[in-house]
Amino acid sequence: MLDPARLITPEIADAYSVSLHTVTKTWSQHPHWPAPTGKRGRYKEYAAQDIAAFVRDHIERPTVELEARRLYTAPELEAAGIGITAGTIRADLTRGRWPQPDATDGGTNHWYGATATKALEGRRSYHKTQTG
């Protein structure tokens, strides 16, 4: 019988809707990844509560309230605490993973708060927690 209080990496990936690769090659390499509590088959087992705490503290990003009709630059979005850097916004824009700017005054890209909020909702781990 499986113990729901103890998870192996495929169960962690399934529970948090991420790939097994994300768990094994990214999350588990983090310095705050919890220590295993045992082994099941070929996988290490982890306490579910330790995994939940790790995700809460190191993966999930709080929802940030942006003014819907205000224009923001990438550095202003970063400073607002959206959880990604201005450099990531620029890189994702180039790769088609961030929306085109709503305005380009003086050669600087600007996005409405509503545009940025919608873009963030499509990214993993942005809409799971509330600040406050």
pTM tops 0.85:
no
Q: What is the average pLDDT score of the chain?
A: 88
Instruction: Say if residue 95 is exposed, middle or buried (CB neighbours under 10 Å; 0-12, 13-18, 19+).
Output: exposed
Q: Which residue, chain included where needed, has tokens 């220590």?
A: 35
DSSP string, 9-39: HHHHHHHTT--HHIIIIIGGGSTTPPPP-EE
Q: What is the pLDDT of residues 42-88, one digit of tens each?
A: 999 999 999 999 998 888 877 788 999 999 999 999 999 888 899 99
Residue 3 pLDDT greater than 70, yes or no: no
Residue 124 pLDDT greater than 80, yes or no: no
Quick one: fold of 63-130? Answer: Multidrug-efflux Transporter Regulator; Chain: A; Domain 2 (1.10.1660)
Check if the beta carbon of residue 116 is closer than 8 Å to that of residue 82. Answer: yes
